[in-house]
């Protein structure tokens, strides 16, 4: 195990940034989000929950895919080069790290997404353990240990010191120059954090029945109407969610050609997957049901029981109508008939 005084963090980051791009939680105005580090940036590792998740590092909100240019009757296609530069992603909480596993199942399955795959290949992930989970955290329901998250490097902040341990070869290489340390302070913090986790209000949600065997039971529940009644269809929950992967592909006339790009989309929007005949889910009840059925039933039934939720709590914090996945689980949870 290695250690670094937080007072020397900027010095270490500045040195690392000379050879690699660094992405980590940065405070701008009143919000903390993952951004590219530059000397003088206000780094905020202590922030428990960034507004948006770390998935931007691999699946950006907007990215160019190709360009088309025309000259007379000739049309040329310019491909966008893949990102082949190594970078370091620091301060990833256990819930966000778990989301990468879920995104991998989507973007790295056949046929794999080359843009996503290139970024995953070139990233070194430094996770950060939680010491002060709050009442909106429920990650332990989905197999996350926030006291010991995975990654190439796992880190902990204890009494003004950053402790780090390498889990892979590139992780060990990243922290090789730091001072050696013992793990006693880390172990003590982990025990205290686990005591807090056990007392959180959503620590033990009932996920029985959220599987392929109960698909029609959950789908046909009469409770969806009441659960979705106040939904505005604003899409906030999908944009802060670390596991949502829906996107749209559009063409933009630049005046010199056409730029094809993709951008995040939301299943909560009325024009999502809009086709010539209309849409398959014309009501907000159906759109609301689709979002949570996918996370809690469809995805695990097709992915070895892995849910498409990591319990980060962002949807609990950000929904303007106080609608979230915990309410759905509580309303429909348990191995029982919900009709």
Position 339 scores a pLDDT of 43
Position 334 scores a pLDDT of 64
Which residues make Cβ contacts (< 8 Å) with residue 189, sequence separation at least 6?
A: 129, 131, 147, 156, 158
Q: What would the DSSP string read from start to end of 86-101?
A: -EEEEEE-HHHHHHHH
Position 256 scores a pLDDT of 82
pLDDT along the chain (339 residues), means of 10: 97 96 95 95 96 96 93 87 95 98 96 96 98 97 97 97 97 96 96 97 94 92 94 93 95 90 92 72 91 96 96 96 94 62
> Measured between alpha carbons, how far apart are the two ends of the chain, in Å?
53
Please classify residue 172 by burial: count the beta carbons closer than 10 Å to its beta carbon, then call 0-12 exposed, 13-18 middle and 19+ buried.
middle
For residue 220 the two structure tokens come to: 């046909």
Distance CA 100, CA 227 (A): 29
For residue 167 the two structure tokens come to: 């889990």
pTM: 0.92
Position 277 scores a pLDDT of 67
């Amino acid at each position: 195990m290695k250690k670094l005084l937080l007072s020397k963090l900027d010095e270490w980051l500045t040195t690392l940034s000379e050879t690699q791009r660094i992405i980590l939680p940065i405070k701008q105005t009143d919000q903390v989000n993952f951004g590219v580090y530059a000397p003088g940036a206000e780094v905020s590792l202590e922030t428990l929950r960034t507004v948006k998740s770390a998935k931007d590092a691999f699946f950006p909100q907007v990215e160019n895919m190709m360009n088309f240019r025309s000259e007379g009757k000739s049309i040329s296609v310019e491909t966008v080069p893949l990102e082949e530069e190594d970078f370091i992603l620091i301060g990833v909480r256990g819930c966000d790290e778990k989301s990468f596993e879920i995104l991998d199942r989507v973007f790295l399955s056949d046929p794999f997404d080359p843009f996503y795959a290139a970024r995953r290949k070139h990233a070194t992930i430094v996770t950060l353990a939680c010491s002060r989970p709050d009442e909106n955290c429920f990650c332990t329901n989905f197999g996350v240990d926030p006291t010991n998250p995975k990654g190439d490097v796992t880190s902990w902040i204890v009494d003004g010191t950053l402790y780090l341990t390498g889990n892979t070869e590139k992780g060990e290489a990243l922290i090789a120059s730091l001072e050696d340390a013992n793990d006693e302070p880390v172990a003590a913090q982990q025990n205290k954090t686990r005591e807090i986790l056990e007392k959180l209000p959503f620590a033990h949600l009932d996920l029985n029945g959220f599987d392929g065997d109960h698909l029609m039971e959950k789908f046909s529940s009469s409770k969806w109407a009441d659960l979705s009644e106040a939904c505005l269809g604003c899409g906030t929950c999908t944009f802060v969610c670390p596991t949502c992967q829906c996107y749209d592909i559009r063409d933009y006339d630049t005046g010199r050609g056409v730029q094809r790009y993709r951008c995040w989309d939301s299943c909560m929007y009325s024009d999502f997957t809009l086709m010539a005949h209309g849409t398959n889910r014309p009501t907000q009840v159906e759109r609301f049901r689709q979002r949570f059925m996918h996370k809690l039933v469809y995805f695990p039934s097709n992915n070895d029981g892995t849910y498409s939720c990591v319990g980060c709590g962002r949807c609990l914090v950000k929904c303007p109508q106080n609608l979230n996945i915990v309410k759905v689980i509580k309303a429909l949870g348990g191995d029982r008939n919900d009709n």
